[in-house]
Structure 1
Amino acid sequence: MSRRRIGFWYRLAAVIAKPPLVVLFKRDWRGQEHIPADGGFITAVNHNSYLDPLSYAHFQYNTGRVPRFLAKAGLFQGSFVGMMLRGTGQIPVYRETTDALDAFRAAVDAIGRGECVAFYPEGTLTRDPDMWPMTGKTGAARVALLTKAPVIPVAQWGANLAMPPYAKENRFQFFPRKTLKVLAGPPVDLSRFEGQEPTPELLREATEVIMAAITELLSEVRGEPVPEALYDHRKARAEQRRKAAEEGSK
């Protein structure tokens, strides 16, 4: 199926968001040739700043293929932001409710209509102390294997330097002017998973392949070696609780 037109709401969002991004940041964009010209596809992107959805959307908007993000359902309620999210066709995610599957179905439907759905496979801002991607959730892999849509890995860096994800002081650090670096890679090879039952184990393995591709790209962007293992936030929290319990028992 051919690409969907950008539409009024996305163009309005671009009119609002692009001027400050152009003024405040330099750009180092590479790999736009890997964004498919037509048909539905998935992008899998690392997440390290509240600002990076705008910086990444700017990158992809300029290819003519706009992303449909999965975003927390609460952001869609009222307000100008909610209106823009609804108008631009973003997909609400209802966590831990009976509506949780709606985002999955909406993503599959959007790809079937020839659109791009952008996943942050980590599910949240990275908690890795060195800002590498964390272990991923399986949603992107599940949708990819069901739709057979190509998965384009994307690494980004720079928004986190201007708006650190968990900074309590000096939250905005726009000067000196930062460079927004975005690098898209070729489609992730998931062929060995196709035609198999999507068991939790298979989906985790496919997700690991996707996260490895993103991390390799980020290594190139940062000019640093890939970490030995991805940060697992659940394991880290469990270890913190264990240590706290041990300290409390002394």
Structure 2
Amino acid sequence: MVLPIWSLGVKYRFHHPERMPQAGAFVLSPNHYSEIDPIVMGVASWHLGRLPRFLAKASLFKIPVAGWFLRRSGQIPVERAGSSSHAAIRAAEELVEKGRMVIVYPEGSLTRDPDLWPMRGKTGAVRIALERGIPVIPAAHWGTQQIMPRYAKKVSFFPRKTVDVIIGEPLDLSAYEGKPLDQATLLAATNDLMNAIAALVGELRDQPPPAERWDPTKHGQKETGRLDG
């Protein structure tokens, strides 16, 4: 019921859809700049042949329509406080063990970059990939801000919006395989992932991404709503 209604308001343009694996476990890591991103990428994944499973902030489950979709499609609510980030990683790993795809937003929350470029990432996505020996695939979307701008509380479907989605090549993690998964290794691999995501966003926007990722801690901003650790 939701998908036909969603399709009335959102048109997808897919770039390199052939890069989406059709079998086996992997981590899909997109950029994140709107509260409605999980639905945008969830529907996109369904169109590309994979049933989406992802970590979503618990607050999203309270949004009309969006919350219903998240609950019905078996997504994982993540609370903000306490050890939720570690619990979320464990839940994602359980999905991986079942050979499923899991969407993990490496930024952990909506980007703070003023121009909506990907910001500094957290290590959860690459940690899962390296620990489990599965691919991590960067992805990006652009146009979602026309449906629901960053920090907005309402959605707009009409006139119909167009969202571009691009799937990247699997991230080359060969330089990190067999190494101790210490913080230095995980941060280096995460930096590679964020560079790959930013390059995909730049391809969709037809602009070069910033040479350096936005770091909220350097701009006096508090990071909230983490989706990984």
TM-score, normalised to structure 1's length? Answer: 0.80
Is residue 193 of structure 2 the alignment partner of residue 217 of structure 1? no
Between the aligned residues of both structures, percent identity stands at 44
For 2:114 and 2:85, the matched residues in 1 are separated by 30
Is residue 45 of structure 2 the alignment partner of residue 60 of structure 1? yes
124-133 vs 58-67, which moves further:
58-67
Find the counterpart in structure 2 of residue 130 from structure 1.
115
> Structure 2, unaligned stretches of length 5 or more?
222-229
TM-score, normalised to structure 2's length? Answer: 0.87
Q: Which of 120, 139, 156 is residue 105 of structure 2 equivalent to?
A: 120
| Corresponding residue SS for 1:71 | strand
Q: Taking structure 1 as reference, are residues 128 and 93 closer, same or farther at Cα in structure 2, changes over 3 Å only?
A: same
Q: Taking structure 1 as reference, are residues 99 and 53 closer, same or farther at Cα in structure 2, changes over 3 Å only?
A: closer
| Corresponding residue SS for 1:49 | coil
Q: More helix by proportion, 1 or 2? A: 1
Find the counterpart in structure 1 of residue 191 from structure 2.
208
Is residue 134 of structure 2 the alignment partner of residue 144 of structure 1? no
Per-residue CA deviation, residues 183-231 of structure 1 (Å, 9 max, x unaligned), is 0011000111111111111111110111111111111000011212111
Find the counterpart in structure 1 of residue 140 from structure 2.
155
Considering only aligned residues, what root-mean-square deviation do their CA atoms show, in Å?
Answer: 2.4
Q: Tell me which of the two structures has the higher relative contact order, counting C-alpha pairs closer than 8 angstroms and 6 or more residues apart.
A: 2
Report the CA distance between 1:57 and its aligned residue: 1.2
Q: Map 1:1-250 to 2 at 5 A.
A: 15-16=1-2, 18-73=3-58, 84-98=69-83, 100-167=85-152, 172-237=155-220
For 1:127 and 1:98, the matched residues in 2 are separated by 23
Q: Taking structure 1 as reference, are residues 54 and 73 closer, same or farther at Cα in structure 2, changes over 3 Å only?
A: closer
Equivalent residues of 2:126, 2:186 under 8 A apart: yes
Equivalent residues of 1:29, 1:182 under 8 A apart: yes
**Structure with larger Rg:** 1
